[in-house]
Amino acid sequence: MDITVKNLLDIENKIKSHLSGIDTNNIPKIIAVSKTFNIDKISPLIEHGHVDFGENKVQEAVEKWSEIKNENSKIKLHMIGKLQTNKVKFAVQIFDYIHSVDSEKLAKKIADEQSKINKKIKIFLQVNIGDEDQKSGINKRDLNKLVSYCQDLDLDLMGLMCIPPVDVDPEIYFNEMKQLNYSMGFKELSMGMSSDYIQAVKNSSTYIRIGSNIFGKRF
């Protein structure tokens, strides 16, 4: 068994063990963050049947995944990085999910471009949950306005996404996101990475983004 498949199965089992006794019927989707890794590293997971993969650069995603997605319609590609409006045209062609919408300008551009190709991208709104100046994401005080704007555009809003501040216990931020997501009536929640996915899952995350714990360190 390839090490990446073994790592994925270990993560799935670890999640299930932590979910036992917790009120949830849904195992979260694991987005295998394949950015910077070549197809040789990714292929064993595809052959295993894994379908959710994450990239943070549009050009890399187009070059790496276009042929694979044409051959395998089950593959779901997630944009998990900051998306510039000038890349949206190409992003909507290759991605199925965008987890980093944080402005009306970006939302409008996605709506315009996806309508041209008759496609409906699944959208997560990125929240700057720690109010960090250097981090992307909509401020909590402006979130309601952005949600209403996206709904007016008829975007397929799935839920919220966050990346908590580093070097602090993420529990308080994950719990706040859980409450915020619930208050807005969303059923999906994107949060949790290799270092904190168990805490995220315990706070109702339904999409977790795992890179190094599956593929190993990036060089």
CA–CA gap between residue 190 and residue 126 (Å, rounded): 9
Whether residue 24 lies inside any domain: the answer is no
Whether residue 67 lies inside any domain: the answer is yes
Whether residue 178 lies inside any domain: the answer is yes
* C-alpha distance from residue 184 to each of 24, 100, 138, 188, 189 (Å): 19, 18, 15, 11, 11
Whether residue 53 lies inside any domain: the answer is yes
Q: Which domain holds residue 80?
A: 3-19+29-215
Between vectors from CA 193 to CA 186 and to CA 149, what angle results, nearest 5°? 30
Q: Per residue in 160-214, pLDDT tens?
A: 999 999 888 999 999 999 999 999 999 999 999 999 999 999 999 999 999 999 9
Whether residue 112 lies inside any domain: the answer is yes
Number of domains in the chain: 1
56-61 average pLDDT score: 96
CA–CA gap between residue 50 and residue 184 (Å, rounded): 30
Between vectors from CA 195 to CA 216 and to CA 190, what angle results, nearest 5°? 105
Q: Per residue in 71-116, pLDDT tens?
A: 999 999 999 999 999 999 999 999 999 999 999 999 999 999 999 9
- Which domain CATH number covers 92? 3.20.20.10
42-64 average pLDDT score: 97
Give the pTM: 0.95
Q: 164-203 as b/e, with b when 16 or more CB fall inside 10 Å? A: beeeeebeebbebbbebbeeeebebbbbbbeebbbbbbbb
If pLDDT is split at 50, 70 and 90, which confidence band does 20 have? Answer: low
Whether residue 58 lies inside any domain: the answer is yes
